[in-house]
């Protein structure tokens, strides 16, 4: 981590879309009278989503004015929380986990893949589609090494598989998130080694297939914009 500053080039203006504005007003209502400032983080997050993944200076002021806060108070918050990006990010924002378990399992290779396929850290690629950064533990150590691309986790990566994901996303294909080496969720890599005796299961075959962990919406895990 390093000193965080607002981006040098800023848009002229920021306003919530009508839907976001309605949502924001509802969010502010959740807090007692005089405590509107409590809504600052949700509102900033929504502003970041609307703004393409980063908080601009007009957006910061917009949120501050909406909540009756001094600009400096909101500035303190966006600089404190590293999930608020102060610099523009690519359409696909790759966050490489670099904490110990991922590092031991090859996150350095993933960074190399990012440098090769995207460019230097914290810069947007020339086509505007990608940028990447290193983050602290994303809590998927069992599937190390891993990256988060926008909202989705891509796990059990290698330099090659991450490179392929980036290239497929660049072509506009959708890449299913989750483990990329055929592993089922966070089950043991060598395949199941407990509860494998089928005789322990009853005759009732109703319900989902063993190993089914997804949702009913097959598209829910597809990567895309925020």
Partner 1 sequence: MPKLIIDGNEHDVPDGITLIQACGLVGVEIPRFCFHERLSIAGNCRMCLVEVVGMPKPIASCAMSVSDLRPSPDGTPPTINTKSETTRRAQEGTMEFLLVNHPLDCPICDQGGECDLQDQAMAYGFNAGRFKDNKRAVEDKYLGPLIKTAMTRCIHCTRCVRFMTEVAGVPELGLIGRGEDAEITSYLEHGLHSNLSANVVDLCPVGALTSKPYAFQARPWELTKTPSIDIMDAVGSAIRVDSRGKEVLRILPRINDAVNEEWISDKARHVWDGLRSQRLDRPYIRKDGKLSPCSWDEAIAAIAERVKGADGAKFGAIAGDLAAAEEMFALKTLADQLGSPNIDCRQDGSKFDPGLGRATYLFNTSINRIEEADAVLLVGSDPRVEAPVLNSRIRKRWKQLDGKLPVGLIGSDVDLTYPYVRLGAGPETLADIANGKHDFAKTLTEAKKPMVILGPPAMARPDGYEILSLAAKVATGVGALDDGWNGFNILHAAAARVAGLDLGFVPGKNGLGTTDMIAAAGRGDLDVLYLLGADEIDMSALGETFVIYQGSHGDNGAHRADVILPGAAYTEKESTYANTEGRVQMTARAIFPPGDAREDWSIVKAVSDAIGKSLPFGTLQELRGKMYASAPQLAQLDTFGAAQESSVAKMAEHAAKPSDEPFGIAIDDYYLTNAIARASAIMASLSAMGADAEKATGTDG
Applying CB under 8 A, the residues found at the interface with partner 1 are: 1-4, 6, 57, 70-73, 75-76, 79-80
Token pair listed for 39: 């809504």
Q: Determine how many CB atoms are found less than 10 A away from the CB of residue 21.
A: 13
Of 61 and 183, which CB lies nearer to partner 1 in the complex structure?
61
Of 81 and 201, which CB lies nearer to partner 1 in the complex structure?
81
Q: Where are the alpha helices (DSSP H) in 52-177?
A: 57-67, 71-80, 100-104, 107-117, 159-170
Q: How far is the CB of 82 from partner 1 (least distance, A)?
A: 8
Q: End-to-end distance of the chain based on CA atoms, in angstroms?
A: 24
Residue 106: alpha-carbon gap to chain centroid = 20
Of 3 and 195, which CB lies nearer to partner 1 in the complex structure?
3
Measure the CA–CA gap between 12 and 23, rounded to whole angstroms: 23
Of 70 and 222, which CB lies nearer to partner 1 in the complex structure?
70
Instruction: Please name the residues in contact with 195: beta carbons below 8 A apart, sequence gap of 6 or more.
Output: none
Token pair listed for 63: 């949120």
Of 4 and 164, which CB lies nearer to partner 1 in the complex structure?
4
Q: How far is the CB of 62 from partner 1 (least distance, A)?
A: 13
DSSP state for residue 120 in the 8-state scheme: S
Of 13 and 127, which CB lies nearer to partner 1 in the complex structure?
13
Q: How far is the CB of 24 from partner 1 (least distance, A)?
A: 22
Do 78 and 60 meet the contact criterion of CB atoms below 8 Å apart? yes
Beta bridge partners of residue 95, listed in sequence order: 133, 148
Q: How far is the CB of 151 from partner 1 (least distance, A)?
A: 24
Q: How far is the CB of 44 from partner 1 (least distance, A)?
A: 14
Q: Under DSSP, is residue 113 helix (H, G, I), strand (E, B) or coil?
A: helix
Q: What are phi and psi of 104, to 5 degrees?
A: -65, -25
Q: How far is the CB of 53 from partner 1 (least distance, A)?
A: 20
């Amino acid at each position: 981590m390093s000193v965080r500053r607002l981006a040098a080039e800023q848009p002229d203006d920021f306003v919530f879309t009508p839907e976001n504005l309605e949502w924001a007003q509802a969010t502010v209502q959740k807090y007692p009278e005089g405590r509107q400032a409590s809504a600052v983080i949700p509102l900033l997050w929504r502003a970041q989503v609307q703004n393409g993944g980063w908080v601009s200076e007009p957006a910061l002021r917009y949120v501050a004015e909406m909540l009756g806060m001094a600009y400096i108070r909101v500035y303190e918050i966006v600089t404190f929380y590293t999930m608020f990006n102060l610099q523009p990010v690519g359409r696909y924002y790759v966050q490489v986990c670099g904490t110990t378990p991922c590092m031991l399992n090859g996150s350095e290779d993933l960074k190399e893949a990012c440098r090769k396929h995207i460019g230097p850290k914290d810069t947007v690629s020339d086509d505007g589609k990608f940028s990447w950064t290193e983050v602290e533990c994303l809590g998927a150590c069992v599937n190390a090494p891993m990256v988060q691309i926008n909202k989705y986790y891509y796990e059990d990566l290698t330099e090659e598989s991450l490179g392929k994901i980036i290239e497929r996303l660049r072509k506009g294909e959708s890449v299913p998130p989750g483990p990329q080496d055929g592993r089922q969720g966070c089950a043991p890599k060598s395949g199941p080694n407990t509860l494998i005796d089928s005789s322990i299961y009853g005759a009732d075959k109703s319900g989902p297939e063993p190993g089914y962990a997804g949702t009913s919406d097959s598209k829910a895990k597809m990567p895309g914009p925020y």
